[in-house]
């Protein structure tokens, strides 16, 4: 899903560049090689970063077999 329409950045793009603890919105944009333009996406990006930091890392389940 597109989060930033100005830069055509999806939630997947943000997740791929936002997996460091303490990442800021600005740092993620820099990592993507983009700059925020209208800024309307910033609250969503901030929320996404918070979710990534707060959610425990998912462990792979036991192998079926």
Which positions touch ligand FES (CB under 6 A)?
4-7, 36-41
Q: How far is the CB of 36 from ligand FES (least distance, A)?
A: 4
Q: How far is the CB of 65 from ligand FES (least distance, A)?
A: 45
| Eight-class DSSP state of 20 | S
Q: How far is the CB of 41 from ligand FES (least distance, A)?
A: 3
Distance of CA 59 to the CA centre of its chain: 20
Q: What is the DSSP string of 28-58?
A: HHHHHT---SS-TTHHHHHHHHHHHHHSPPP
Nearer to ligand FES, 24 or 37 (CB): 37
């Amino acid at each position: 899903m597109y989060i930033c329409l100005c830069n055509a950045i999806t939630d997947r793009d943000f997740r791929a560049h936002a997996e460091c603890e303490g990442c800021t919105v600005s740092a993620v944009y820099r990592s993507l090689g983009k700059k925020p333009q209208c800024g309307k996406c910033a609250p969503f990006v901030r929320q996404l970063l918070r979710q990534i930091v707060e959610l425990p890392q998912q462990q792979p389940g036991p192998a079926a077999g």
